[in-house]
Amino acid sequence: MFLKANNQVKDIIYVHKNTDRQYVVSYGINFNEFASNARKPLKNLLLIKHQYEHGAFNIHTHLEYVEQDEMKKIMNDGVQSYGDFCWIDFEEEVGVDELNGQEIAELLYMGHVKQPLNPPFYSKLNNRYAYLSHDDGWFNKVYYREFEDFYHMLGATVSSKLSTVKGGKGLFGMKKEKDYPIIGQEVIHSFRDKLKEGMVISLEKAIQTRGKIEIPIWVIGDYYDMDEMAEDYKQIRKSPANGLLSYDRKMKSWSALLR
């Protein structure tokens, strides 16, 4: 299920939200984008599966961790090459030291199969997330204590991707604009039903004019195999979109259009 993708598609984001189990599966959002666009700065990360070589060691759990002031170092470490990259955030190391054997076993199980035995939110850690990825940015499964964190991160990530410089120019081969404003949560909320079905936000198919930018969205379904998702996207992108994210250049504002 977690084989390396052979047919990655650039400049798309796939998201499927499972409301009942409090997680989102995604493609096209990597750890750097997640951390940079989090609603609140990440605190400390307890590393469950990783290849990071500079973490501190917690003797109680025999797991390594990254403190908040070291976050930039792991963000620059190329986590997409780790294979599995799984972590859970925590507020204070004293909370990690209070985890019992059952809770430590649950964390190890979650990192191994990308699925928790119980809801992965611990009062001892006061964590907001459980982050489980394989070939980070290809298959990511993130559990959210509050989905408002997800809506903010998604809106901020889409707008930041538009601002990415490519060869000295913006996404559309034009002179780079100033950073785009974050897409508000109320706009992302408009797509909540489509998020539950599984949807692709296609930056590669965005249409820009002097007055606006329109980013098409397709409902595509529920996937764990991102090779399969990419193949199906290549077919569905030939059909009319199910919605648009629209940016008004003059008003410098975002809106949603559903179809």
What is the spatial distance between Cα 92 and Cα 68, in angstroms, rounded to a whole number? 11
Mean pLDDT of 231-255: 97
Evaluate if residue 166 carries a pLDDT over 50. no
- pLDDT score for 177: 56
* pLDDT tens per residue, range 170-227: 555 555 556 899 999 999 999 999 999 999 999 999 999 999 999 999 999 999 999 9
The secondary element (H helix, E strand) that includes residue 24 is strand 23-27
Q: Are 14 and 226 in contact (CB under 8 A)?
A: yes
* pLDDT tens per residue, range 224-240: 999 999 999 999 999 99
- pLDDT score for 187: 97
- pLDDT score for 107: 98
Closest CA to 199 of 238, 166, 232, 156: 232
- pLDDT score for 167: 33
What is the spatial distance between Cα 149 and Cα 185, in angstroms, rounded to a whole number? 10
Closest CA to 180 of 166, 163, 155, 202: 163
- pLDDT score for 173: 55
What is the spatial distance between Cα 139 and Cα 129, in angstroms, rounded to a whole number? 16
The secondary element (H helix, E strand) that includes residue 147 is helix 147-162
Provide, rounded to the nearest whole percent, the portion of the chain with pLDDT above 90.
Answer: 89
CB atoms within 10 A of CB 11: 16
Mean pLDDT of 85-98: 98
- pLDDT score for 55: 97
- pLDDT score for 165: 38
**Chain CA centroid to CA 95, Å:** 26
- pLDDT score for 174: 52
Beta-strand pair 139-144/63-66: unpaired
